[in-house]
Structure 1
Amino acid sequence: MEKERIKELLHKYKKGLCTDAEKAWIESLYEALANPPSSDLTDEMIQADLAEVYQRIPALSKNKSFTLWPRIVAAAIFLLFVSIGFYFFKEKDPSQPLVQIVDKSKINPNDFAPGTNKALLTLADGSQIALDNAPDQKILDKGGIKITKNEDGLITYQINPGVRESKSNTLSTPKGGQYQVILSDGTKVWLNAASSLRYPTVFTGNERKVILNGEAYFEVAKNEKQPFKVVTDRQELLVLGTHFNINSYEDEPDVKTTLLEGSVKVSAFQTKQTILLKPGEQAALKRSGKLKVAQINAENAIAWKSGLFQFQGSGIQEALRQMARWYDITIEFEGAVPDIQLWGEVHRKANALEALEILSYFDLKYKILATGNTKKIIVIQ
């Protein structure tokens, strides 16, 4: 279906019927593919061009998920449009540039670099370890508790069998950081940017309880005799052994719990409402305290864990909140918030300027302000 729509557009170009925006888009795409366009396109040339495009972007022809690499912006935007089965163009006012950079001399692309594996580990005695600066391998071996770190951004707890005293530790990621931890029971947790997880070094009693702020993906080790609980400021999750994601950032309107495997019980503190989730379902806890369940593609909810921003009809505010946390930048709106919905994927290895350049093709207009330690993107109307 996508090929037919592209073919139709190429025929319009051949006949000189394209709008200025369509013509500019076609020409930028051909330029990115190092193949100059021609108004004398024949059917054979169009078929060859289609084949070249699909060969350059194989994920499109196989109808699989794709990644938007900003190295070739035109090709990336092309992929973003046609992969969802449509394309559209809007005339742009040439007198209103999409991007306004305030003081170009002060814009350093390195200031807008993507996040990395960095976190702060706070021990029970209040001492702190900056994990991005700590040497690999053993970072603590005391009282029968051993904590090790590897180069891939993972700490692991190993507890001697005789240890019964439980102490509280907290793993915190800043904006622009992420980290992983394997708890003493074998549970694996991926912590997204600007998040924290408080947990005991040893799980004692009749339950395993951790406290989350922000976003994390859990693969809980099964133990029917000791259920696992995840507590946020607005809800509690009860599991026996399962894979799930919780997004509980304070600046998000909903707390979203997405189940990939097993079953979980979600309980809202405010309304006492309780629901049981099945795989592929997402519970959204509203500010009113009401829980709503929807069937979704659960893999989209954990795209961040695989290094992707995943947009499925996402509003521009939601998308930019994700980027602000990952790139450690401030994003503000000047005037009304644009009514823009985004579809597709952008790789989190792209820097903020590259990611925003991609979003500008959805008529997102913004100013870049970088002065001293201030890194700010101002979205304008």
Structure 2
Amino acid sequence: MDKKDIKKLLERYLADECTDAERAIVEDWYNRQHSEAPHDIPAAEIEADIAAIKKELPQPSARRRFVNLRYHAAAAIVIIGIGVWIVQPRFFNKLEDAPLAVIDENDILPGGNRALLTLADGTAILLDDKPVGKIAQEGNNIVYKNADGELVYRRSDGPPSEVRANEFHRITTPRGGQCQLTLPDGSQVWLNAESAIRFSANNSGDERIVELTGEAYFEVARDANRPFKVITGKQVIEVLGTHFNVNSYPNEPVVRTTLVEGSVKVSEKSETRSVVLKPGQQASIGDQRRLTVHDVSVADAIAWKNGMFSFNDSNIESIMRQLSRWYDVEVEFEGNKPEFKLWGEVYRNVKASEALEILSFFNLNYRIETVNGVKKIVISG
């Protein structure tokens, strides 16, 4: 039995697609293994154990649904390096048996909808606590906040005002913030933490240009006559109408553009090379500014938009950079930084302590400190 079979077996469990017999056997296996420290169980022993279980499992005759415990469970699901899923202890607890949560005063709440809108005249508007309705107007451009907290640009019905080429708006999310908006052309944007976009507020000109720092997911309104361009520090992405994600944080070693549907053209900033992506492909460019293309999991690339952290062959530094941005906290390593890779998912709507439980499976310890009002996560082996 290879690793793919093991993974499929447990993926069926996590998706509530197991038979009653499969569910009982998988939970029994977990409970027996959890009596030992997960990292102390040899890989061969785990695979042999699950292979024996596999022989006992009847083939499911039809898809069955059970009460989904994932939403009552703690945050982390991980795959250790040998490819076997290890689920954190509380995953299998019945809801009524779960202990009451203990709130640590040093714990850190997850991020939320927080952003700053800067108008063309320099007016800065903090959007966090603005009520639903009209937020600002500049010329014929009106900015609304809807009941879901999304910003929406609309044109007023009055006589057109003078169009100025330099009417740019900027939306910035802080660490621990995110924002969803509809641009003046109807395109939708989801902006991740510690990110910013700059765009023309009057929706004029032969091109629709957005400048991006950080990470954003785009669903671009089709307009065959006006290409939509996203400009980052290392890439230029050109589309007519499509869905894609761009990760372009200054402190990340690689800029990544992932195509969800449609087609995009990605160019190096120097315009020496360009590629046209197909859905499921990712264009990346690193410090050496060489553009490469890979097939990737779209679900992983846009997990943040759907309320998840998704780690796929990620090192601890990459993971902690993501957590640092979302929880608005500094990260410090004591001793040598671990070099192994992690796979798994963590919900973004949980406290930092719950998200960090993923580390306990790898003999890593963490603590949250508060010094002079500033919170910090310290990681040690």
Q: What TM-score results when the alignment is normalised by the length of structure 2?
A: 0.76
Pick aligned residue for 1:131 from 110, 127, 151 = 127
What residue is the counterpart of 1:86 in the other structure?
A: 84
CA distance in 2, matches of 1:135, 1:328: 24
Per-residue CA deviation, residues 209-245 of structure 1 (Å, 9 max, x unaligned), is 1100000000111111110110111111111111000
Q: 1:87 to 1:263 in 2, by over 3 A?
A: closer
What residue is the counterpart of 2:352 in the other structure?
A: 352
Q: Which amino acid is 1:123 matched to?
A: L
CA distance in 2, matches of 1:196, 1:258: 18
Unaligned regions of 5+ residues in structure 1, if any? 26-42, 48-53, 60-66, 90-105
Alignment of 1:149-160 (within 5 A): 149-160=145-156
CA distance in 2, matches of 1:288, 1:214: 19
Asked if the contact 1:118/1:153 (under 8 Å) is kept, the reply is no
CA drift of 1:5 comes to 12
SS of the aligned residue for 2:129 comes to coil
Q: 1:8 to 1:180 in 2, by over 3 A?
A: closer
CA distance in 2, matches of 1:187, 1:12: 46
Per-residue CA deviation, residues 126-159 of structure 1 (Å, 9 max, x unaligned), is 1111001222111123422211012422111112
Q: Which amino acid is 1:321 matched to?
A: R
What residue is the counterpart of 2:305 in the other structure?
A: 305
Pick aligned residue for 1:108 from 101, 105, 109 = 105
Q: Which amino acid is 1:153 matched to?
A: G
Identity of aligned residues (%): 43
CA drift of 1:9 comes to 9.8
SS of the aligned residue for 2:37 comes to helix
Q: 1:348 to 1:180 in 2, by over 3 A?
A: same
What residue is the counterpart of 1:165 in the other structure?
A: 163
Asked if the contact 1:164/1:204 (under 8 Å) is kept, the reply is no
CA distance in 2, matches of 1:288, 1:306: 32
SS of the aligned residue for 1:339 comes to coil
What residue is the counterpart of 2:50 in the other structure?
A: none
CA distance in 2, matches of 1:210, 1:8: 49
Asked if the contact 2:333/2:379 (under 8 Å) is kept, the reply is yes
CA distance in 1, matches of 2:86, 2:104: 32
What residue is the counterpart of 1:39 in the other structure?
A: none
Larger mean Cα displacement after TM superposition, 164-173 or 252-261: 164-173
Per-residue CA deviation, residues 168-187 of structure 1 (Å, 9 max, x unaligned), is 11000000000011111101
Q: Which amino acid is 2:208 matched to?
A: R
Q: 1:337 to 1:225 in 2, by over 3 A?
A: same
Asked if the contact 2:246/2:255 (under 8 Å) is kept, the reply is yes
What residue is the counterpart of 1:367 in the other structure?
A: 367
CA drift of 1:367 comes to 2.9
Asked if the contact 1:270/1:289 (under 8 Å) is kept, the reply is no
CA distance in 1, matches of 2:353, 2:310: 18
Q: 1:265 to 1:87 in 2, by over 3 A?
A: closer
SS of the aligned residue for 1:112 comes to coil
Pick aligned residue for 2:37 from 21, 26, 43 = 21
How many residues are treated as equivalent by the alignment? 324
Q: 1:252 to 1:6 in 2, by over 3 A?
A: farther
SS of the aligned residue for 2:289 comes to coil
CA drift of 1:23 comes to 12
CA drift of 1:24 comes to 11
CA distance in 2, matches of 1:145, 1:216: 23
1:289 aligns with 2:305: no
Q: Which amino acid is 1:139 matched to?
A: I
SS of the aligned residue for 1:237 comes to strand
CA distance in 2, matches of 1:247, 1:345: 18
Q: Which amino acid is 1:136 matched to?
A: V
Q: 1:289 to 1:19 in 2, by over 3 A?
A: same
CA drift of 1:21 comes to 2.3
CA distance in 1, matches of 2:373, 2:85: 39
CA distance in 2, matches of 1:11, 1:204: 62
What residue is the counterpart of 2:61 in the other structure?
A: none
SS of the aligned residue for 2:178 comes to strand
1:122 aligns with 2:138: no
Unaligned regions of 5+ residues in structure 2, if any? 1-5, 11-21, 42-52, 58-63, 88-102
Q: Which amino acid is 2:171 matched to?
A: L
CA distance in 1, matches of 2:139, 2:79: 57
CA drift of 1:362 comes to 2.5
What residue is the counterpart of 1:35 in the other structure?
A: none
What residue is the counterpart of 1:194 in the other structure?
A: 194
What residue is the counterpart of 1:205 in the other structure?
A: 205
How big is the alpha-carbon RMSD for the aligned residues of Structure 1 and Structure 2? Answer: 3.3
